[in-house]
Amino acid sequence: MAIAQQHYFITGVSSGIGKALAQQLCAAGHKVSGVARRKAQLDELAATYDSFKGYGCDVTDEAAMNQAVGEAIDHHGAIDVVIPNAGIYQPQPAGHIEPDAFVHHMNVNYFAVIHCLAAILPQMQARNQGHIALMASVAGYRGLPRSAAYGPTKAALINFAESLRFDLSDTNIKLQVINPGFVETEATAVNDFDMPDLITAETAASEIIAGLKTDQFEISFPKSFVRKMKWLKLMPDKLYFTVVKKMTKA
Protein backbone atom coordinates (compact mmCIF):
# COMPACT_ATOMS: atom_id res chain seq x y z
CA MET A 1 0.00 0.00 0.00
CA ALA A 2 1.50 3.33 -1.08
CA ILE A 3 2.13 5.93 1.61
CA ALA A 4 0.75 9.45 1.46
CA GLN A 5 3.83 11.38 0.39
CA GLN A 6 4.43 14.54 2.39
CA HIS A 7 6.81 17.48 2.14
CA TYR A 8 8.94 17.90 5.28
CA PHE A 9 10.95 21.08 5.93
CA ILE A 10 13.71 20.37 8.47
CA THR A 11 16.50 22.61 9.75
CA GLY A 12 19.84 21.36 11.05
CA VAL A 13 20.12 18.33 8.75
CA SER A 14 23.91 18.19 8.46
CA SER A 15 24.27 15.87 11.46
CA GLY A 16 22.56 14.34 14.47
CA ILE A 17 18.80 14.06 14.74
CA GLY A 18 18.15 16.31 11.74
CA LYS A 19 20.25 14.17 9.42
CA ALA A 20 18.71 10.95 10.74
CA LEU A 21 15.22 12.37 10.24
CA ALA A 22 16.01 13.38 6.66
CA GLN A 23 17.43 9.94 5.89
CA GLN A 24 14.54 7.98 7.38
CA LEU A 25 11.84 10.18 5.85
CA CYS A 26 13.40 10.08 2.40
CA ALA A 27 13.82 6.31 2.67
CA ALA A 28 10.10 6.10 3.49
CA GLY A 29 9.22 7.93 0.28
CA HIS A 30 8.67 11.47 1.52
CA LYS A 31 10.04 14.72 0.10
CA VAL A 32 12.47 16.53 2.37
CA SER A 33 13.76 20.09 2.17
CA GLY A 34 16.76 20.31 4.46
CA VAL A 35 18.50 23.41 5.80
CA ALA A 36 22.08 23.48 7.07
CA ARG A 37 25.21 25.61 6.84
CA ARG A 38 27.52 22.78 5.73
CA LYS A 39 27.14 22.35 1.97
CA ALA A 40 29.09 19.09 1.76
CA GLN A 41 26.61 17.32 4.04
CA LEU A 42 23.67 18.70 2.03
CA ASP A 43 25.26 17.50 -1.20
CA GLU A 44 25.81 14.05 0.30
CA LEU A 45 22.15 13.69 1.23
CA ALA A 46 21.05 14.97 -2.19
CA ALA A 47 23.32 12.45 -3.92
CA THR A 48 21.81 9.63 -1.87
CA TYR A 49 18.12 10.56 -2.03
CA ASP A 50 16.35 11.95 -5.11
CA SER A 51 13.58 13.31 -2.88
CA PHE A 52 16.00 15.45 -0.83
CA LYS A 53 16.75 19.07 -1.67
CA GLY A 54 19.25 21.00 0.44
CA TYR A 55 19.46 24.72 1.18
CA GLY A 56 22.60 26.32 2.59
CA CYS A 57 21.33 28.75 5.17
CA ASP A 58 22.22 30.33 8.50
CA VAL A 59 19.02 29.77 10.48
CA THR A 60 19.56 32.98 12.44
CA ASP A 61 19.31 35.01 9.21
CA GLU A 62 15.64 35.87 8.74
CA ALA A 63 16.00 36.86 5.08
CA ALA A 64 17.94 33.69 4.26
CA MET A 65 15.28 31.56 5.98
CA ASN A 66 12.52 33.27 4.00
CA GLN A 67 14.42 32.55 0.80
CA ALA A 68 15.01 28.90 1.70
CA VAL A 69 11.32 28.40 2.48
CA GLY A 70 10.29 30.04 -0.79
CA GLU A 71 12.68 27.91 -2.83
CA ALA A 72 11.58 24.75 -1.00
CA ILE A 73 7.94 25.44 -1.88
CA ASP A 74 8.85 26.18 -5.48
CA HIS A 75 10.72 22.87 -5.72
CA HIS A 76 8.63 20.42 -3.65
CA GLY A 77 5.30 22.22 -3.29
CA ALA A 78 3.46 23.23 -0.14
CA ILE A 79 5.17 22.32 3.15
CA ASP A 80 3.14 19.71 5.04
CA VAL A 81 5.37 19.28 8.10
CA VAL A 82 7.97 21.65 9.54
CA ILE A 83 10.52 20.54 12.12
CA PRO A 84 12.80 23.45 13.16
CA ASN A 85 15.51 21.20 14.58
CA ALA A 86 18.71 23.24 14.32
CA GLY A 87 20.29 23.90 17.69
CA ILE A 88 23.51 24.26 19.65
CA TYR A 89 24.62 23.19 23.09
CA GLN A 90 27.66 24.46 24.95
CA PRO A 91 28.06 23.81 28.68
CA GLN A 92 27.80 27.18 30.38
CA PRO A 93 27.77 27.60 34.16
CA ALA A 94 25.64 30.48 35.38
CA GLY A 95 28.46 31.44 37.74
CA HIS A 96 30.68 32.40 34.80
CA ILE A 97 28.48 34.32 32.39
CA GLU A 98 29.70 34.94 28.86
CA PRO A 99 26.94 37.12 27.38
CA ASP A 100 27.82 36.29 23.76
CA ALA A 101 27.35 32.56 24.43
CA PHE A 102 23.93 33.15 25.97
CA VAL A 103 22.81 35.38 23.09
CA HIS A 104 24.10 32.89 20.51
CA HIS A 105 22.17 30.03 22.13
CA MET A 106 18.97 32.06 22.11
CA ASN A 107 19.47 33.17 18.50
CA VAL A 108 20.05 29.63 17.21
CA ASN A 109 17.77 27.60 19.47
CA TYR A 110 14.83 29.96 19.83
CA PHE A 111 14.74 32.96 17.49
CA ALA A 112 15.70 30.82 14.48
CA VAL A 113 12.56 28.78 15.16
CA ILE A 114 10.54 31.99 15.12
CA HIS A 115 12.09 32.98 11.77
CA CYS A 116 11.22 29.55 10.37
CA LEU A 117 7.60 29.61 11.52
CA ALA A 118 7.13 33.24 10.47
CA ALA A 119 7.92 32.12 6.93
CA ILE A 120 5.85 28.91 6.95
CA LEU A 121 2.89 29.35 9.32
CA PRO A 122 1.00 31.96 7.23
CA GLN A 123 0.98 29.57 4.29
CA MET A 124 -0.32 26.76 6.49
CA GLN A 125 -2.99 29.11 7.85
CA ALA A 126 -4.03 30.09 4.31
CA ARG A 127 -4.51 26.39 3.51
CA ASN A 128 -5.87 25.62 7.00
CA GLN A 129 -3.62 22.59 6.95
CA GLY A 130 -0.16 21.67 8.25
CA HIS A 131 1.89 20.11 10.99
CA ILE A 132 4.47 21.83 13.22
CA ALA A 133 6.83 19.89 15.50
CA LEU A 134 9.14 22.04 17.64
CA MET A 135 12.42 20.52 18.85
CA ALA A 136 12.80 21.34 22.54
CA SER A 137 14.33 19.12 25.24
CA VAL A 138 13.73 17.68 28.70
CA ALA A 139 16.44 20.19 29.69
CA GLY A 140 13.67 22.79 29.43
CA TYR A 141 11.70 21.24 32.31
CA ARG A 142 13.88 22.75 35.08
CA GLY A 143 17.31 24.30 35.53
CA LEU A 144 20.26 21.92 35.39
CA PRO A 145 23.99 22.30 36.16
CA ARG A 146 26.06 23.78 33.30
CA SER A 147 22.90 24.27 31.25
CA ALA A 148 22.43 27.96 31.98
CA ALA A 149 22.69 28.99 28.31
CA TYR A 150 20.99 25.97 26.74
CA GLY A 151 18.17 25.12 29.15
CA PRO A 152 16.36 28.49 29.01
CA THR A 153 16.14 28.27 25.21
CA LYS A 154 14.37 24.92 25.46
CA ALA A 155 12.11 26.17 28.26
CA ALA A 156 11.18 29.07 25.98
CA LEU A 157 10.32 26.67 23.17
CA ILE A 158 8.12 24.53 25.42
CA ASN A 159 6.28 27.64 26.63
CA PHE A 160 5.98 28.93 23.06
CA ALA A 161 4.61 25.57 21.89
CA GLU A 162 2.00 25.57 24.64
CA SER A 163 0.93 29.11 23.73
CA LEU A 164 0.82 28.34 20.01
CA ARG A 165 -1.21 25.19 20.69
CA PHE A 166 -4.00 27.37 22.13
CA ASP A 167 -3.87 29.74 19.16
CA LEU A 168 -4.11 26.90 16.63
CA SER A 169 -6.70 24.84 18.48
CA ASP A 170 -9.53 25.84 16.15
CA THR A 171 -7.55 25.14 12.97
CA ASN A 172 -6.45 22.04 11.10
CA ILE A 173 -2.80 22.80 11.91
CA LYS A 174 -1.30 20.19 14.22
CA LEU A 175 1.22 21.38 16.81
CA GLN A 176 3.58 19.14 18.78
CA VAL A 177 6.68 19.65 20.91
CA ILE A 178 9.58 17.17 20.91
CA ASN A 179 11.46 16.69 24.20
CA PRO A 180 14.33 14.20 23.85
CA GLY A 181 16.63 13.10 26.63
CA PHE A 182 20.34 12.53 25.95
CA VAL A 183 21.02 11.79 22.28
CA GLU A 184 24.42 10.87 20.86
CA THR A 185 25.29 13.85 18.63
CA GLU A 186 28.09 16.30 17.95
CA ALA A 187 26.56 18.57 20.59
CA THR A 188 26.51 16.05 23.43
CA ALA A 189 29.99 14.79 22.54
CA VAL A 190 31.39 17.70 24.58
CA ASN A 191 29.89 16.34 27.82
CA ASP A 192 32.45 14.95 30.26
CA PHE A 193 29.92 13.10 32.43
CA ASP A 194 27.88 9.92 32.11
CA MET A 195 24.67 10.57 30.20
CA PRO A 196 21.91 8.27 31.48
CA ASP A 197 19.75 6.43 28.93
CA LEU A 198 21.83 7.79 26.03
CA ILE A 199 20.36 6.87 22.63
CA THR A 200 21.57 7.22 19.05
CA ALA A 201 20.33 9.90 16.68
CA GLU A 202 18.82 7.16 14.53
CA THR A 203 16.76 5.87 17.47
CA ALA A 204 15.68 9.42 18.29
CA ALA A 205 14.55 9.99 14.70
CA SER A 206 12.51 6.78 14.76
CA GLU A 207 10.87 7.86 18.02
CA ILE A 208 10.02 11.26 16.53
CA ILE A 209 8.55 9.83 13.33
CA ALA A 210 6.39 7.46 15.38
CA GLY A 211 5.30 10.34 17.61
CA LEU A 212 4.37 12.53 14.65
CA LYS A 213 1.70 9.97 13.73
CA THR A 214 -0.02 10.36 17.11
CA ASP A 215 -2.27 13.10 18.47
CA GLN A 216 -0.21 13.62 21.62
CA PHE A 217 1.09 17.13 22.23
CA GLU A 218 4.47 16.08 23.63
CA ILE A 219 6.79 13.58 21.94
CA SER A 220 9.29 12.63 24.66
CA PHE A 221 11.83 9.82 24.94
CA PRO A 222 13.41 7.63 26.14
CA LYS A 223 10.45 6.91 28.38
CA SER A 224 12.38 5.75 31.45
CA PHE A 225 14.51 8.92 31.49
CA VAL A 226 11.55 11.20 30.80
CA ARG A 227 9.66 9.72 33.76
CA LYS A 228 12.58 10.56 36.03
CA MET A 229 12.80 14.11 34.68
CA LYS A 230 9.07 14.68 35.13
CA TRP A 231 9.30 13.38 38.66
CA LEU A 232 12.11 15.88 39.35
CA LYS A 233 10.01 18.61 37.75
CA LEU A 234 7.29 18.09 40.34
CA MET A 235 9.63 18.10 43.34
CA PRO A 236 9.57 20.95 45.86
CA ASP A 237 12.49 23.31 45.24
CA LYS A 238 14.54 22.37 48.28
CA LEU A 239 14.35 18.65 47.53
CA TYR A 240 14.96 19.21 43.81
CA PHE A 241 18.18 21.15 44.32
CA THR A 242 19.45 18.57 46.83
CA VAL A 243 18.68 15.56 44.62
CA VAL A 244 20.02 17.03 41.37
CA LYS A 245 23.20 18.27 43.07
CA LYS A 246 23.82 14.77 44.42
CA MET A 247 22.99 13.07 41.11
CA THR A 248 25.20 15.31 39.01
CA LYS A 249 27.92 15.92 41.59
CA ALA A 250 27.57 19.61 40.76
DSSP secondary structure letters along the chain: ------EEEEE--SSHHHHHHHHHHHHTT-EEEEEES-HHHHHHHHHH-TTEEEEE--TT-HHHHHHHHHHHHHHH-S--EEE--------B-TTS--HHHHHHHHIIIIIHHHHHHHHHHHHHHHHT-EEEEEE--GGGSS--TTBTTTHHHHHHHHHHHHHHHHHTTTSSEEEEEEEE--EESTTGGG--S--TT-EEHHHHHHHHHHHHTS--SEEEESHHHHHHHHHHHTS-HHHHHHHHHHHHT-
Look up the CATH superfamily of 7-248.
NAD(P)-binding Rossmann-like Domain (3.40.50.720)
Contact 45, 20 (CB under 8 A): no
What pLDDT is recorded for position 1?
Answer: 42
pLDDT in tens, 104-147: 999 999 999 999 999 999 999 999 999 999 999 999 999 888 88
Known catalytic membership, residue 55: no
pLDDT in tens, 143-153: 888 889 999 99
Residue 2 has pLDDT above 60, yes or no: no
pLDDT in tens, 197-238: 678 999 999 999 999 999 999 999 999 889 999 999 999 999
What pLDDT is recorded for position 186?
Answer: 66
Q: Which pLDDT band holds residue 4 (cuts at 50, 70, 90)?
A: confident
- Least confident among 6-15, 38-47, 89-98, 206-215: 89-98
Does residue 32 or residue 186 have the better pLDDT? 32
Task: Please tell me which residue in 49, 55, 150, 240 is annotated as part of the active site.
Answer: 150
d(CA 89, CA 234): 25
What pLDDT is recorded for position 19?
Answer: 96
CA distances in angstroms from 20 to 15, 26, 45, 59, listed in the order given: 7, 10, 10, 19
pLDDT in tens, 151-196: 999 999 999 999 999 999 999 999 999 999 877 766 664 665 566 6
What pLDDT is recorded for position 95?
Answer: 79
Residue 23 has pLDDT above 70, yes or no: yes
Domain ranges of the chain: 7-248
What pLDDT is recorded for position 161?
Answer: 98
